[in-house]
Structure 1
Amino acid sequence: MGVQGLTTFLDNHQKIYRDVQFGRSRLVIDGSNLYHRLYFESGLDQNHGGEYAAYESLIERFITALRTCEVDPYMVLDGGSDHTNKKLETVTKRAEQRIERAHRAAKDGGKEDIRPIMTKWVFRQTLTRLKVPVAQCFGEADREIAALADKWQCPVLSNDSDFYIFNLSAGLLPISYFQWQDVKGNGSKSYIPCKRYYTSSFCIYFEIQPQLLPTFAALAGNDYVKLPKFIWSRFAPDASRPQSRLEGLLCWMKDFEQPEDTLKAAVELMGGKSQNKEKMLQSLSVGMEEYKLPRSSLVEFFVRGVVPPFLDEVMILIQGKMSFIEARLPGDTLDVLLLHRLSLGTPVDHKDLPSANLTSRPLRQVMYGLLLGKETSYKQANFNVCHNVVSTLRPAVSWPQAQLSERLEVLLEALGVKEELLNELPPQLRLLVAVTCYWWNRARPRPDLKLLKSLLLGMNLKDTSRLSPAVPLVSSRGSSESACCHQKPDVGVAHSFSQWQVCMKDSMHLNQLLGLPLPEPDVARFYQGTLVHQLVHMRRTGSRLKRVLKPDQASVQQYRDMLSAIRRLRPRPRQGSEFSESEQAERRALNDHTNLRLFQLDYDEETEARSLARAQEDLRLDDRLLLRTRYKTKERRNRCNKVELSRKEEGRGMDLL
């Protein structure tokens, strides 16, 4: 939800907080808020596609700090979008703002808080490996987090302003003041210095009745309440101060005791027309209802593994509720099932370029077909410009009852690769290679060999300290950034690698939906943004990579195997132009607002027939191979003891890089 300006306002009123030494307790964590804050406040690069290994290390250190202080973390994540559409206008506006920020980041190289595409995957995978209890809610998680913390009598860790309104018995620990990188004490006496907030302190400090806090939030404006602009600062002692709007509202509310009286007086004060007053009161009442704590549905899940009830007939389609609530399926799944739309990610990208999301659209078509269980069409709509139909594509398989081999066939057909060729690789590399092959074939403009080799080399390098600058550890209230974080990325390179990451994300979604027919790769290991951008630059400027890189022979061999597999798996391009006339028209139509797409169900038989035919053509396997590998690795065991020859062999490997 979010109360506009409240967090900043309270930063200027430090007396409300209590300094505490936190340890030996349960802690309910707003996971969706945390994974944003950890990345944005760490100084990690935002403009080159993400620094996932460093981010993984940051998460590990965070969990280690909690466990050192005997804190038991329970992570709760947002799931699907609000199915009532009460927040659609707000979500739309924020998405448009992200597009503009992403464009500025690509154009100027500034820090615009655009979250790299795969951060949530790294967060989930790291928590799973560390055995941190995780629950993904069916919708927005705020109320479930508050209800669970209240039931367990433990605090919430979050920076979401809504938790300043919920009446939590053990209070709120704002992430901004949670000094987890500065653990004090030793052994059982270890603790994390932080500040704790209670609603009672707020009400005493500002002299308002506790029952009026939800009323204050609604009048201040949150994601559910849209009111005419009113100058509340006229009631503030000093109307010139930046936060005088909230201060003025609180001063005005001091004379009231009951929410109903306060709402009626506020509506009269705002001067709404008689026909609008009832709507305003209703909107305010709805906004206040969001702060009533429900009965916790997560206690039984965390304690006994009992999944909360939610639309059983829908959840059956995604292989049971457990996969979803354990965050082994993305929240997007519910958006497709319930809302028939999907809001796509916003990588750092120039807005005049075609959307990076176009490249992976056939993969999403398969996902839509699997979830909806029928062949239909989606209307792809920019929020303020054109509409384009996107068909679903239902594979010829009964899902989710299909055998593993059948589900694997669906995945590989969508990616356009043959299983027998992919099986030559180790299991952990198969999805990575299949997706990279898909990207190399479908991305526009077509990536050159330098981009492909830089991407693969970045996946296989172990010691990158001479290329990728280290990111210093920072305090939770500030950031210290490496010099590369504000460098302007090459627009074309960034666009191409954004296409690859989107393909990777959608392929992993599809793989999850199909019950993991291929092992899920370790996200934190396969892409380091500043590194691959530097490798591309070095290749283009003719730098000798072997002078600055010292990869081990096993990494070189794995790099060779992946490159060889991709070149053998890549199908022959279609004859004629790169795009059909319909594809060219579609891309021109999408050129104005390219980083955000909203998919809405819109059945039309004629359009569906054309779209399905094109999708089937796009996804058809081509048995002909583009080319054979030029280089074959030969083992010369009888020469291994000759140092000079070994060096030559290693040099030949680096020339291939």
Structure 2
Amino acid sequence: MCLVFLLLDWSGLDQNHGGEYAAFEALIEKFVKALRDCRITPYVVLDGGSDYTDKKLETVTERAKDRIIRAHQAAIEGSHEGILPQLVKVVFKQTLARLEVPVAKCYGEADQEIAALASEWRCPVLSKDSDFYIFDLPRPVGLLPLSDFQWEAVQGSGSQSYIPCKGYTTTSFCIFFQIQPQILPAFAALAGNDYVKLQRRESPIKWAQFAAGSWKSSRLQGLLRWLRRFNEPRDAFEAALGLMGGLSEDKKKELMQDLHLGMEEYKIPPSALKKFFIHGMVPPFPAVAGRVPNWVRLPLTQAQLTSDILDVLLLRRNSLHNPVEHADMPSSQLTSRPLRQLMYGLLLGEGEEVMERDRNGLQIDFIPVKAVVPGTCQHLKLNSLDQVNLLGVLSLAEPSLCLQVLLEALGVTEASLSNLPPLLRLPVAATCYWLRHAQPRPDETLLKALLLGLSTGDALRQRAGKNQKLVIQHRQKLDLGVVHAINQWMSCLRVSIQLNQLLGFPLPEPPIARCWLMLNLHLVPLMLSRLFQGTLIHQLVHRMRSGAKVKPFPKKERSSARLYHTMQTVVHQFHTEEASAALEGHQQASAVAVVAAAPRRQPLDELTTNLQQLFLLYGDGDEEAATEACSTVKGQEDLYLSELVSVKTRYRAKERNNRCRNPELARKEECRGWDLL
């Protein structure tokens, strides 16, 4: 994910309001185009699960603590702290797939696999990871540091184009610093990488004392100068341990083992992904991954499953994302925990425990969470992972069962989503779930802003962009309540996407940054290139709460208005049902008597009542609000009428069949009808 961080830092895109995903997608497109204009074919290799040995657990936990502190600082100061928005990795993978860029995910860390591919293909590595300064990559160009890769300044004339950049090779490095090439991995281990932390031991070595000239303050320069005298790594290690002084033999043996282990990370193995990129052959799992079922291999390598799956299966652990939010707020990931519990149940079985690494204030907590198996799947037998897995059973079952599991988890029905474009069904279902589980409960203004962003983001963005003063002012100070609510919504959407992936995509995966919709009533495509845009949602909430009128739908954009009101109808349907559930429980006995005595109300009568309530809600004198209320009820009527038309059609078909079977009876019925007229 080095490229993700680089593009976000280079662009200066806002990261504190939830993400500018469409702009980030455009940046990826521009980057890939620059490569292809220069006849460069990119191959992207992603990290997989965490190291099963937990050698990096201390380092990873410290980095997570640092991100939490920076995320809190960004929330209170509005500063740019490099905190990735929650859905940015989803956008990255979706965009690469749409651009047909070859992508593969490793089972573990990707560094060695990238080096192996570069070695076998004789091609350079494009990265900013410092580990690639140590790998013996192929010459003449081994590493292209991303910081010096000027892809935005393609040069050349005619059909010959190139990207200005700098190349790095270990050979040049060793010649410049006068060290042996075989000492380079020892340099990385002694300097301290993710696995070896000599500088944090009881007696750290002050390598700067060996520097000379203008480099006297440089620890790494001093270490390199000191290493000139050695030809073999072991000799350098023994001398380094001697500099620490006062170490017992057991301690020396432990440190020597750690140093050799740190060196092993820079050995280049045969590539495991070469055959996958060329022939589509999925690499086998390593022997240590015996608890991982075989069905995971293909979707994981294709990056259709997240790396969290391996961590859950191998380590019984899941490291949660901590976005920009105030430390006094509870973690926004709590809202989506029931969805994750279902995922754990699908992977591990009922009652298994997973440790979730999450934020508690400014601290890291490891929280035990129980796996849950849904009622829909209780009849399926759960055996051990090496024999059968619940998800394996589900994948062989009818797709309708997987859809039922997903919809029950989100608390919606298939019928309620049927009037929505397919690509919006999962986001709307996740929104319904969010409304029920978010704490504190989201207000109507925020819900309206989200739905407007889903339905007509481009038009709103262009209008908001005209008021630069409002945009700048809004970026300086975050509304922490809105930030927290949006973080909860994005967490629900992200886990819903993961659950949908795990179940084999019973619903289409929504493109986060760009969305093409085929509307039901007009057979023309409507492009919504802003399925979610953080700054836009914040601006909408700010304007509506300040009393400013928002006119999101141009007069000719009836399709966007219809889409908005359809989503609003679906979401409010479940919102209303939940709000009345408690009341119905208290009044159940009396309600039965009332229903028995009173005539049954017709659905359109109920819609009339809803219309009256909406007018009372919006108040008098606001023509635009009244129009919107009418449109909302019109959307409810459309939903009801579509069902009514379906019933009527079935009735007419049955009537035609009866006429064919008994023409005499049909003639008499027609005569009676004329008599009545």
Shared fold by TM > 0.5? yes
3-state SS of 2:44 partner: strand
Q: CA deviation at 1:213?
A: 0.6
Q: How many residues align?
A: 551
Q: Who is 1:565 aligned against?
A: 570
Q: Who is 1:305 aligned against?
A: 280
3-state SS of 2:450 partner: helix
Q: Which amino acid aligns with 1:467?
A: A
1:247-279 superposed Cα distances (whole Å, 9 cap, x missing partner): 110111111111111111011112251231111
Q: Who is 1:652 aligned against?
A: 627
Q: CA deviation at 1:483?
A: 4.5
Higher helix content, 1 or 2: 2
Q: CA deviation at 1:377?
A: 3.1
**Structure 1 pair 173–188 and aligned structure 2 pair: CA distance change class (3 A):** same
Mind listing any 5+ residue stretches in structure 2 that lack a counterpart? 381-392, 514-529, 584-605, 613-622, 633-677
Q: Does residue 226 of structure 1 match 2:197?
A: yes
Q: TM-score, normalised by structure 2?
A: 0.77
Q: Who is 2:305 aligned against?
A: 329
Counterparts of 2:171 and 2:227, CA distance in 1 = 16
Q: Who is 1:413 aligned against?
A: 408
Q: Percent same amino acid among aligned pairs?
A: 52
The counterpart of 1:131, out of the listed 77, 97, 100, is: 100
Q: Does residue 392 of structure 1 match 2:371?
A: yes
Q: CA deviation at 1:294?
A: 0.4
The answer as to whether partners of 2:353 and 2:369 remain within 8 angstroms in 1 is yes
| 386-395 vs 352-361, which moves further | 386-395
The counterpart of 1:348, out of the listed 293, 310, 324, is: 324
Q: CA deviation at 1:467?
A: 1.4
Counterparts of 1:364 and 1:263, CA distance in 2 = 45
**Structure 1 pair 187–470 and aligned structure 2 pair: CA distance change class (3 A):** farther
Q: Does residue 523 of structure 1 match 2:512?
A: yes
**Structure 1 pair 270–407 and aligned structure 2 pair: CA distance change class (3 A):** same
Q: Who is 1:194 aligned against?
A: 165
3-state SS of 1:346 partner: coil
Q: CA deviation at 1:309?
A: 0.6
1:482-526 superposed Cα distances (whole Å, 9 cap, x missing partner): 947952211000000000001011000000000000000011132
Q: Which amino acid aligns with 2:341?
A: Q
3-state SS of 1:342 partner: strand
Q: Which amino acid aligns with 2:498?
A: H
1:219-246 superposed Cα distances (whole Å, 9 cap, x missing partner): 110000021232110111157766x000
Counterparts of 2:294 and 2:449, CA distance in 1 = 37
Q: CA deviation at 1:180?
A: 0.7
The answer as to whether partners of 1:56 and 1:126 remain within 8 angstroms in 2 is yes
Q: Who is 2:421 aligned against?
A: 426
Q: Tell me which structure has the larger Cα radius of gyration.
A: 2
Counterparts of 1:650 and 1:386, CA distance in 2 = 46
3-state SS of 1:190 partner: strand
Q: Which amino acid aligns with 1:523?
A: I
Q: CA deviation at 1:651?
A: 9.1
Q: Who is 2:145 aligned against?
A: 174
Q: Who is 2:525 aligned against?
A: none
The counterpart of 1:111, out of the listed 72, 80, 83, is: 80
Q: Who is 2:242 aligned against?
A: 268
Q: CA deviation at 1:557?
A: 1.4
Q: CA deviation at 1:347?
A: 0.6
Q: Does residue 458 of structure 1 match 2:416?
A: no
**Structure 1 pair 449–74 and aligned structure 2 pair: CA distance change class (3 A):** same
Q: CA deviation at 1:465?
A: 2.1
**Structure 1 pair 532–382 and aligned structure 2 pair: CA distance change class (3 A):** closer
3-state SS of 1:71 partner: coil
3-state SS of 1:378 partner: strand
Q: CA deviation at 1:551?
A: 8.0
Q: CA deviation at 1:60?
A: 0.4
The counterpart of 1:492, out of the listed 467, 481, 490, is: 481
Q: Does residue 257 of structure 1 match 2:231?
A: yes
The answer as to whether partners of 1:357 and 1:499 remain within 8 angstroms in 2 is yes
The answer as to whether partners of 1:110 and 1:486 remain within 8 angstroms in 2 is no
Q: Does residue 544 of structure 1 match 2:549?
A: yes
Q: CA deviation at 1:544?
A: 1.3
**Structure 1 pair 381–69 and aligned structure 2 pair: CA distance change class (3 A):** closer
Q: CA deviation at 1:553?
A: 2.0
3-state SS of 2:156 partner: coil
**Structure 1 pair 71–631 and aligned structure 2 pair: CA distance change class (3 A):** farther
The answer as to whether partners of 2:215 and 2:221 remain within 8 angstroms in 1 is no
1:347-403 superposed Cα distances (whole Å, 9 cap, x missing partner): 101111111000000000000000113432334466867664421111315423221
Q: Who is 1:446 aligned against?
A: 441
Q: CA deviation at 1:40?
A: 2.1
**Structure 1 pair 380–192 and aligned structure 2 pair: CA distance change class (3 A):** closer
**Structure 1 pair 301–264 and aligned structure 2 pair: CA distance change class (3 A):** same
**Structure 1 pair 285–387 and aligned structure 2 pair: CA distance change class (3 A):** closer
The answer as to whether partners of 2:313 and 2:348 remain within 8 angstroms in 1 is yes
Alignment of 1:460-609 (within 5 A): 460-461=455-456, 462-463=458-459, 464-468=461-465, 483=472, 487-524=476-513, 525-546=530-551, 552-570=557-575, 571-573=577-579
Q: CA deviation at 1:572?
A: 1.0
The answer as to whether partners of 1:318 and 1:371 remain within 8 angstroms in 2 is no
1:45-65 superposed Cα distances (whole Å, 9 cap, x missing partner): 011010000000000000011
Q: Which amino acid aligns with 2:450?
A: L
Q: Who is 1:370 aligned against?
A: 346
**Structure 1 pair 500–82 and aligned structure 2 pair: CA distance change class (3 A):** same
**Structure 1 pair 366–351 and aligned structure 2 pair: CA distance change class (3 A):** same
Counterparts of 1:650 and 1:485, CA distance in 2 = 25
The answer as to whether partners of 1:317 and 1:400 remain within 8 angstroms in 2 is no
Q: CA deviation at 1:650?
A: 11
Counterparts of 2:197 and 2:556, CA distance in 1 = 57
Q: Does residue 140 of structure 1 match 2:109?
A: yes
3-state SS of 1:348 partner: coil
Counterparts of 1:128 and 1:381, CA distance in 2 = 30
Q: Does residue 152 of structure 1 match 2:149?
A: no
Q: Which amino acid aligns with 1:65?
A: A
**Structure 1 pair 341–64 and aligned structure 2 pair: CA distance change class (3 A):** same
Counterparts of 2:87 and 2:394, CA distance in 1 = 27
Q: Which amino acid aligns with 2:452?
A: L
Q: Which amino acid aligns with 2:414?
A: E
1:97-144 superposed Cα distances (whole Å, 9 cap, x missing partner): 111111111111111110000110000000000000000000110000
Q: Who is 1:584 aligned against?
A: none
**Structure 1 pair 392–320 and aligned structure 2 pair: CA distance change class (3 A):** closer
Q: TM-score, normalised by structure 1?
A: 0.79
**Structure 1 pair 466–280 and aligned structure 2 pair: CA distance change class (3 A):** same
The answer as to whether partners of 1:441 and 1:573 remain within 8 angstroms in 2 is no
The answer as to whether partners of 2:318 and 2:356 remain within 8 angstroms in 1 is no
The answer as to whether partners of 1:235 and 1:248 remain within 8 angstroms in 2 is yes
Q: Who is 1:588 aligned against?
A: none
**Structure 1 pair 261–551 and aligned structure 2 pair: CA distance change class (3 A):** farther
The answer as to whether partners of 1:172 and 1:197 remain within 8 angstroms in 2 is yes
Q: Which amino acid aligns with 2:323?
A: P
C-alpha RMSD of matched pairs (Å):
2.7
Which structure has more relative contact order (CA 8 Å, sep 6+)? It is 1
The counterpart of 1:235, out of the listed 180, 192, 210, is: 210
Q: CA deviation at 1:36?
A: 1.6
